[in-house]
Structure 1
Amino acid sequence: MTETPPWAPPVAGTDVDHVLASLERLRVTFRWKADGLDEAGLRARIDSSALSLASLLKHLSLVEDHYSTTALDGSSIGSPWTEIHDGTDDFTERTAVEDSAASLYELYDGAVLRAKERYAAAVAAGGLDQPTAMEEAGQARSLRRLFHDLLEEYGRHTGHADLLREAVDGRVGEDPPLDYRPW
């Protein structure tokens, strides 16, 4: 019998169980792909792209905080973004090269933990079909849609992280080891 990873979606469960576990699996896989590198490893790029694991860590930190505040309920994104973000579209990609490995991991881990708490509270308060502060064509997007947008964002960037990490040191694999625990 094979042990089930703690981040794996359930074999059977509710919509909430599945969407949150799928998001967690992508978060854990992304974090494992970026884990344990120094500044040089995090800043390494593939010649045809400006992406690095550093820029992805910072970008997904911003995404986690934005989606779990402003997009979720219209609240301010808060610290550290209100102090450091300069309002430009390329902020995370441009400034990640200035950050230490430790600060990037701390930024990402903190954003994920804050988002998980906010999402748990939101789900408990109204389920997946409740409206969020995000609008499209004059209609509020549901919490379900917000989670699906996050899944898409993570799917894309976890794929990028696969390629970048393999280029840095050859780490490959679909899932982290069973004993991997980023939080």
Structure 2
Amino acid sequence: MDTAGSPCGSLSGMTERIGPPLTAGERETLRAFLDFHRATLAVKCEGLSDEDLRKQASPPSTLSLLGLVRHLTEVERTWFRMVIDGEDVGLVYSPSMDYQAAYDASSATREEAFALWEAEVARSREIELAAESLDVTAYNARWEEEVSLRLVMHHMIHEYARHNGHADFLREALDGVTGV
């Protein structure tokens, strides 16, 4: 953990990734895997300028590292705040609920994108910690079904792992860095 106590680290220093515990219970293990993947995204973005973070490595796709950070801001907000907590909030980057809008990071900055992402991650952690158990359910309007916090935690790990794979390719295309 960094000095702020966040497994995702900070923008000013190196991000530390803490591996999941080998013998913990389900909830602690899910939480640790999710934080590991969150930190991985931050690591993939370290040491790059705003311009580099905005670069689209595979045009015509608008996908960029900063676009991934913005997209995962929306994902955190949707699953934890809107679904599990039932908050009446919209998306950060699209009033029309267009999840693809976040990928367009053409005028975004690291400072803005990471501040919003880190705020959503912090709120997600609060919501997860406040939930009585992984069996807590909430209505997902998009799927028109009840979902459990357990499903949300698994889905979030899947979402980050998938996009961290994209981040691997994006980072390598920018400066050849692999394996971070």
If the TM-score is normalised by the length of the shorter chain, which range does it land in? 0.7 to 0.9
1:22 pairs, out of 33, 43, 46, with 33
- Compared CA separation, residues 138 and 21, structure 1 to 2 (3 A): same
Percent of aligned positions that are identical: 31
Return the letter of the residue paired with 1:11.
L
User: Match of 1:181?
Assistant: none
Larger helix proportion, structure 1 or 2?
A: 1
Map Cα deviations across residues 65-116 of structure 1 (whole Å, 9 max, x no partner): 12111111321236x83xx52313421123x211122111212222111211
User: Match of 2:157?
Assistant: 151
Contact 1:37–1:101 (CA under 8 A) maintained in structure 2: no
State whether structure 2 residue 140 is matched by structure 1 residue 128. no
Map Cα deviations across residues 10-67 of structure 1 (whole Å, 9 max, x no partner): 1101100111111011001111102232221111122353210011010001111121
Return the letter of the residue paired with 2:112.
S
User: Match of 2:11?
Assistant: none
Distance 1:138 1:63 in 2: 17
CA RMSD of aligned residues (A): 2.1
Q: Which runs of 5+ in 1 are unaligned?
A: 175-183
**SS of equivalent to 1:50:** coil
Distance 1:138 1:46 in 2: 36
Contact 2:84–2:149 (CA under 8 A) maintained in structure 1: yes
User: Match of 2:112?
Assistant: 103
Distance 1:137 1:85 in 2: 19
User: Match of 2:102?
Assistant: 92
1:45 pairs, out of 35, 53, 56, with 56
Return the letter of the residue paired with 2:79.
Y
1:34 pairs, out of 45, 58, 72, with 45
TM-score, length of structure 2 as denominator length: 0.81
RCO greater where, 1 or 2, for CA within 8 Å and sep 6 or more?
Answer: 1
The 5-angstrom pairing of residues 4-23 of structure 1 reads 7-23=18-34
User: Match of 1:68?
Assistant: 80
Which 10-residue stretch deviates more, 113-122 or 12-21? 113-122
Q: Which runs of 5+ in 2 are unaligned?
A: 1-15
**SS of equivalent to 1:167:** helix
Contact 1:135–1:141 (CA under 8 A) maintained in structure 2: no
- Compared CA separation, residues 139 and 44, structure 1 to 2 (3 A): closer
Distance 2:144 2:70 in 1: 30
Q: How many residues align?
A: 163
Distance 1:149 1:119 in 2: 14
Shift of 1:133: 2.5
